[in-house]
Amino acid sequence: MPSRLIAVSNRIPAGEPPSGGLVVALKDALALSGGLWIGAHPETGTGREPLEEIQDNGNTHLAFRLSEDDLSDYYLGYANSVLWPLCHRRVDLIDMSAAFEARYRAVNARVGRMIASIARPEDVIWVHDYHFFPLASELRALGLSNRIGFFLHIPFPELGSLSVLSQPEDFSDWLASYNLVGLQTRADVARCLEVYRADPRAEFLVDGSVKFEDRVTEIRSFPIGIDVEDFRTQAARDAPDPFGRAAPESFVIGVDRLDYSKGIPNRFRAFGRYLETRPEGSYPCLVQIAPPTREQVQAYQDITSELEEIAGHLNGAFAELDWVPIRYIHRSIDRTVLARLHRRARVCAVTSIADGMNLVAKEFVAAQDPADPGVLILSRFAGAAEDMTDALLVNPYDIDDMTEAYRRAFAMPLEERQARHTACMEVVQRTDAASWAKQFLAVLRACVPTLPRQVPS
């Protein structure tokens, strides 16, 4: 039997046009191995088993249903009100609850049983993201000895912050059930190794992998990327100006899910300060596209109000009859329009306080016209900054630093813009979506298999 790839992620594509590196990269990898993609059904329901088939542009994926309680306690609760703020260094926003944790463990156990019922011994299983930290440990308890890999799309948490979990010792145990743990950056790998160094149950092997009780895990970085050609083609397409009659003279673009990790309030404040000192006669705009996410969570309601207030205040202070400095669009927009907006922008601002990688930074670079490229302002706390050192790196906590970056970006001579763009583009091409998936799977397939465990009778 050939070895299939079984991919597991909370969200699976269900009919919408493919977008984002993960979908593109996984689709190719799955097509090559005749594999399966398993994730949560877009509609809630009563956890009917077995897995349901779901159609997606000619592909069939398998979906499990989350109940309303799963959605509130597992997804919005433990995943997005405990693990997300923990990994994004906002421990103050953690909403601890025993019910959240119990539901998180229960959903992982249920998904584990479903996967175990369809996996063949030679299949390779690739689990994605913080929704499923314990999944491999559930699969091992069910007797699976398959090669199982895990990729964390968000930052690896700090050792000290893990103490907020009710059973911090479970965290290293969960990861140790994977043969391979993939992280976005070398800094993430360093943080992960620090966790193992502090754990007396772990031992480091000569090849750098970690032996934890009877299991061996490789921990490596695989920076995720985008489908460069696809985005570049969409950006350069000959189509009407997306602004129509209302085209701004020169603008900064920001594109983010409306999340507190993206540092948007300080991006706005710094733009306000830049407006105060901008060259006379210039009328720059900040075009911010920030669709809502996780709106049921209080911290997301708070950031939504905060941004509306700042945007309203700045427009009130600076707008003129024929100029509105902040154009804030609180919804999703079509990807082809997005790509063209990136190409039209003079500057892109990525100001995350923590971010696994940040694909928007890579999309902006890919969309530029190399003959007259725009400038990327990039937070040093985004994973993308580890390799894209020729962007204008900023500290998102320091408003003066970001104000100065806007000034430099708008005033930057063509030669410097081209040199920085060439260097960033080299990184974007070297770390594209296809090579990310290929490299992860090559390392996973080469991992030492896990010995079958005694299945409790």
Residues assigned a catalytic role: 153, 355
**Starting at the edge strand that comes first in sequence, how are the strands of the sheet with 36-40 ordered?**
52-56, 59-64, 36-40, 5-11, 124-128, 147-151, 180-183, 215-221, 210-212, 202-204
What is the closest distance, in whole angstroms, from the C-beta atom of residue 319 to ligand ADQ in the complex? 23
What is the closest distance, in whole angstroms, from the C-beta atom of residue 338 to ligand ADQ in the complex? 5
Number of chain residues interacting with ligand ADQ (CB under 6 A): 20
* Closer residue to ligand ADQ, CB minimum distance, 149 or 356: 356
Site for ligand ADQ in 224-263 (CB under 6 A): 224, 255, 257
Rounded CA separation 94/80 (Å): 9
CA triple 238-241-243, angle to 5 deg: 160
Whether residue 212 contacts residue 173, with contact meaning beta carbons closer than 8 Å, is answered with: yes
To the nearest 10°, report the CA torsion of 24, 26, 31, 33.
160
Site for ligand ADQ in 265-294 (CB under 6 A): 289, 291
With contacts defined by CB under 6 A, name the span among 157-165, 235-243, 294-302, 332-340 that binds ligand ADQ.
332-340
* Closer residue to ligand ADQ, CB minimum distance, 159 or 258: 258
* Closer residue to ligand ADQ, CB minimum distance, 72 or 184: 184
* Closer residue to ligand ADQ, CB minimum distance, 63 or 357: 357
What is the closest distance, in whole angstroms, from the C-beta atom of residue 356 to ligand ADQ in the complex? 3
With contacts defined by CB under 6 A, name the span among 2-10, 202-210, 272-280, 329-337 that binds ligand ADQ.
329-337
What is the closest distance, in whole angstroms, from the C-beta atom of residue 30 to ligand ADQ in the complex? 17
Whether residue 273 contacts residue 318, with contact meaning beta carbons closer than 8 Å, is answered with: no
Q: Does 375 bind ligand ADQ (CB under 6 A)?
A: no
DSSP string across 339-367: HHHHHH-SEEEE--SSBS--HHHHHHHHH
Rounded CA separation 403/267 (Å): 9
* Closer residue to ligand ADQ, CB minimum distance, 5 or 235: 235
Partners of 149 in the β-ladder:
126, 180
- Residue from 269, 327, 335, 407 binding ligand ADQ (CB under 6 A): 335
* Closer residue to ligand ADQ, CB minimum distance, 146 or 358: 358
The helix (H) or strand (E) run that includes residue 44 is none
- Residue from 326, 338, 385, 427 binding ligand ADQ (CB under 6 A): 338
* Closer residue to ligand ADQ, CB minimum distance, 189 or 216: 189
With contacts defined by CB under 6 A, name the span among 40-48, 233-241, 328-336, 440-448 that binds ligand ADQ.
328-336
Q: Does 115 bind ligand ADQ (CB under 6 A)?
A: no
How many CB atoms are located within 10 Å of the residue 427 CB?
A: 21
Q: Does 332 bind ligand ADQ (CB under 6 A)?
A: yes
- Residue from 115, 127, 154, 176 binding ligand ADQ (CB under 6 A): 154
Rounded CA separation 351/267 (Å): 6
The three-state secondary structure class of 437 is: helix
Whether residue 333 contacts residue 294, with contact meaning beta carbons closer than 8 Å, is answered with: no
- Residue from 225, 356, 373, 396 binding ligand ADQ (CB under 6 A): 356
b/e 394-423 (16+ beta carbons within 10 angstroms → b): bbbeebebbbbbbeebbebeeeebbebbee
- Residue from 153, 267, 346, 421 binding ligand ADQ (CB under 6 A): 153
Site for ligand ADQ in 37-96 (CB under 6 A): none
Rounded CA separation 188/356 (Å): 9
With contacts defined by CB under 6 A, name the span among 204-212, 307-315, 333-341, 389-397 that binds ligand ADQ.
333-341
* Closer residue to ligand ADQ, CB minimum distance, 181 or 359: 359
- Which residues, in sequence order, are CB contacts of 411 under 8 Å at separation 6+? 279
What is the closest distance, in whole angstroms, from the C-beta atom of residue 154 to ligand ADQ in the complex? 5
What is the closest distance, in whole angstroms, from the C-beta atom of residue 7 to ligand ADQ in the complex? 14
Partners of 137 in the β-ladder:
none
Rounded CA separation 432/429 (Å): 5
- Which residues, in sequence order, are CB contacts of 109 under 8 Å at separation 6+? 138
How many CB atoms are located within 10 Å of the residue 345 CB?
A: 24
User: What is the identity of the amino acid at 265?
Assistant: P
What is the closest distance, in whole angstroms, from the C-beta atom of residue 50 to ligand ADQ in the complex? 29
- Residue from 319, 333, 446, 448 binding ligand ADQ (CB under 6 A): 333
* Closer residue to ligand ADQ, CB minimum distance, 144 or 388: 388
Q: Which residues make up the interface to ligand ADQ (CB under 6 A)?
A: 20, 22, 153-154, 224, 255, 257, 289, 291, 332-333, 335, 338, 355-360, 363
